[in-house]
Structure 1
Amino acid sequence: MTLHYFFAPCPRGLESVLVTELEQLGASSVRGRDGGVQFQGDRRVCYRANLESRVASRILWRIATRPYANEADIYNIARALPWNEWFVPALTIRVNVAAIKCPLRSLDFVTLKIKDAVCDKFREITGSRPSVDTVQPDIRIHGFLDAREFSLYLDTSGDALFKRGLRKTAGDAPLRENLAAGILNLAGWQPGIPLLDPMCGSGTFLLEAAQISLNIAPGSKRSFAFEKLKEFDKGLWAQLREAAIARQKPVVRQPIFGSDLYGDVLADAHANLSAAGFSEIVTLKQANLLEISAPAPLGFLVTNPPYGVRLGEPERLVEFYPKLGDVLKKKFSGWKAYIFTADPLLPKFIRLTASRRTPLFNGALECRLLEYKMVAGGMRKVRETDITHQAD
């Protein structure tokens, strides 16, 4: 099969995780870039990356990269491409453009020139042109410009890959699924090791952990844009999907625990886990974080505190964070705690020393993943070894 160039955007800070993941899926020439990973692969790699990547936001197939000077160059580069060989004009399209250090004045005008070029090429070859649908298009076309080069991509994913087709209700400011999966990876959590999210919200960490524990491919319950392309290999896709489903593990209860102070929020998590078929896998209960105990002697606590939204004013947060630190010290000895936050007050007021601070972005919001090893000095090596053995 022919090798193509691809780019997989991901939440910033997770590029190294995605590099490893794509290499495991058979990609070649894998290189991390700011905000994503570029790689090479054939049709099989493209399909597998869409089906199995937990961290990528999309899989973009690069169809052109050329130097440019003005908008006329953009139009001519786009018009020269064989769009009619890739999809039929009955499909709807949407064009998105992003740029860094681009000298052109209007990205909206660039977007229009690309759309015109695609439609003009179709009209010239077939006598008809695709319609534009900005909400739910069949085909997404992505343009990217830097100071000198213009690149065009066909989006093989369709809806963003973090839309797993599982979650029925989102709640306030939900964490994107691929960011949650990346955080679990960075934390070093493995299936079989107890995992607790004591402020679980709508349950994103729990949903991702359940899928990882059962080896469920995140894209196994949804469709993709590549299925609408002319070169779609239906037989290969069926083979890859069936193989992924065959690798799933039996649905049995896992040491995955979630709690939240608010009943309405916990109802969202219940609904999401139930819709995904994970009700019997994850243990949920309504509880105040400041009053709970560790559900196992060793494990990982991973959470995204709902700063401001559900806890109220900054004064209450300044009061809450030291209490959170006390609970971790007193009740979670032997655990590793990972707190994902955009709140700059938390590291200062929790009164614990972070062993690692990893910069991550939740969309455009700069955050930190703070690691706290809740171990007594002499027990550190023993307990970390014990945690590793629990994963075996």
Structure 2
Amino acid sequence: MVETFFASCPRGLEQLLVDDLSAAGARDLKQISGGVHFRAEWTVCYRANLHSRIATRILWRVAHAPYRTEDDIYRLALETSWPRSFVSEQTIRVDVTAVKSALKSIDFVTLRIKDAICDRFRRDTGKRPSVDTRQPDVRVHGFLGSEDCTLYLDTSGAPLYQRGCRQKTVDAPLKENLAAGILRLSGWHPGVTLLDPMCGSGTFLIEAAQIALGIAPGAGRSFAFQRLRQFDAAAWKRLLDAAQAGEKSADHAGIFGSDLSPVAVRAALANLDRAGLLPAVTLSTGDLLEISAPASHGILVSNPPYGERVSDHDELAEFYPLLGSALKRRFAGWNCYLLSADTRLPKLMHLTPSRKTPLFNGALECRLYEFRMVAGSNRGTAAMPPV
């Protein structure tokens, strides 16, 4: 049976999400800001949860109707057959987002949806589910447009960027799906040397190592669809077995990481080790301004410090020219990709980016700057000569 779904993702990565969903077998894809609507059978939903590196959540649409008041939304939720999808012994959480809605209180709308779900359960079963805002069995999402309300059941559970690999973090960690999107935008693929010289807790390294070893991002975690009454355990086992059969044994994959902070390197080491990915990565403690490139050419990706992450703008103004100089001196032949919310970065680095891609790190608007570091004059190539 074909159902309707919505997959969310970091803003700026919608086309990559379309690619993921298409590969999973989705149809009738409609891209909007922050996600993609699509239609698919349940096995495609399972496959997308398991394999998409870009999606944040995949939601199953269970109801949709126009509204004018909170009572209209209550009636829509009451008319939805929630007991067909889960049981009263399971806990629930309701979240509502709105765009251009005339209703004044989202909290009140959330309460009305919760009341309607409980009233429907009382009517059908004589029991009602309890609310658990921390670790619910079932998440209900409401979306209010200017005229229409849509109700969804979450098929993912914990956000899909929570792969189950990263336990130790440092300040301002990058979400895994944003890191995966940056790797894809950079054009990196297994066999090309990769370096993150400010690796923090190792998000880029973990994503790249999983890709190199053919490990599905969701292979080590559970999903909310497993707790729905529609769950097909046999179909899920076939998908999971096929994913695990495609994994390669851990071996060095030309992936390098370093950081000035020994604490960060230890965190990355622990995370890679926990995920069984340590043999694929070479880690070291080192200053980006002093380290040498590990190969004659490759791709450098990094999330350098910027104004939202460190408070001293004067310190950054001193760091960026040194960063630009280090890239010119030591990384000729490399394509370098830096994510930053600091629009001063290219100018202060004395480098002209060949491409600027708008991306959002949570609510923070950033740019992914591409610098092609080639030897010789940079006129017309957007790279600076080595010094």
TM-score range, shorter chain: over 0.9
Alignment-derived partner of residue 150 in structure 2: 151
Q: How does 1:180-219 map to 2 (within 5 A)?
A: 180-219=179-218
Cα separation, 2, equivalents of 1:309 and 1:26 = 39
Q: How does 1:197-346 map to 2 (within 5 A)?
A: 197-307=196-306, 313-346=312-345
Q: How does 1:339-354 map to 2 (within 5 A)?
A: 339-354=338-353
Q: State the one-letter code of the partner of 1:150.
A: C
Alignment-derived partner of residue 132 in structure 2: 133
Cα separation, 2, equivalents of 1:279 and 1:45 = 31
Cα separation, 2, equivalents of 1:259 and 1:251 = 20
3-state SS, counterpart of residue 28 of structure 2: strand
Cα separation, 1, equivalents of 2:24 and 2:373 = 35
Q: State the one-letter code of the partner of 1:306.
A: P
Computed over aligned residues only, the root mean square deviation of the Cα atoms, in angstroms, reads: 1.4
Q: State the one-letter code of the partner of 1:286.
A: T
Alignment-derived partner of residue 61 in structure 1: 60
Alignment-derived partner of residue 3 in structure 1: 2
Structure 1's unaligned 5+ residue stretches are 381-392
Q: State the one-letter code of the partner of 2:119.
A: D
Name the count of aligned residue pairs. 379
Q: State the one-letter code of the partner of 1:94.
A: R
Q: How does 1:65-80 map to 2 (within 5 A)?
A: 65-80=64-79
Cα separation, 2, equivalents of 1:228 and 1:110 = 25
* 1:173 CA displacement: 1.2
Structure 2's unaligned 5+ residue stretches are 380-387
Cα separation, 2, equivalents of 1:245 and 1:339 = 33
Alignment-derived partner of residue 107 in structure 2: 108
3-state SS, counterpart of residue 289 of structure 2: helix
Cα separation, 1, equivalents of 2:92 and 2:308 = 37
Cα separation, 1, equivalents of 2:338 and 2:249 = 30
Alignment-derived partner of residue 173 in structure 1: 172
Worse-matched range after superposition: 241-250 or 302-311: 302-311
- Deviations along 1:87-129, one digit per CA (max 9) or x if unpaired, are 1010000000000000111000000000000000001100100
Cα separation, 1, equivalents of 2:160 and 2:255 = 24
Q: State the one-letter code of the partner of 1:317.
A: L
Alignment-derived partner of residue 85 in structure 1: 84
Alignment-derived partner of residue 45 in structure 1: 44
Cα separation, 2, equivalents of 1:311 and 1:58 = 30
Cα separation, 2, equivalents of 1:228 and 1:286 = 43
Alignment-derived partner of residue 386 in structure 1: none
Checking the alignment, whether the CA contact within 8 Å between 2:172 and 2:309 is kept in structure 1 is no
3-state SS, counterpart of residue 63 of structure 1: strand
Cα separation, 2, equivalents of 1:91 and 1:312 = 45
Cα separation, 1, equivalents of 2:49 and 2:308 = 33
* 1:378 CA displacement: 8.7
- Deviations along 1:63-106, one digit per CA (max 9) or x if unpaired, are 11111110010000000011111110100000000000001110
3-state SS, counterpart of residue 373 of structure 1: strand
3-state SS, counterpart of residue 320 of structure 2: helix
3-state SS, counterpart of residue 280 of structure 1: helix
Q: State the one-letter code of the partner of 1:81.
A: T
- Deviations along 1:149-191, one digit per CA (max 9) or x if unpaired, are 0000000001000000111112111100000000101111111
- Deviations along 1:236-260, one digit per CA (max 9) or x if unpaired, are 0000000001011221111000000
Q: State the one-letter code of the partner of 1:211.
A: Q
Alignment-derived partner of residue 17 in structure 1: 16
Q: State the one-letter code of the partner of 1:138.
A: D
3-state SS, counterpart of residue 19 of structure 1: helix
Alignment-derived partner of residue 356 in structure 2: 357
* 1:379 CA displacement: 11
Alignment-derived partner of residue 384 in structure 1: none
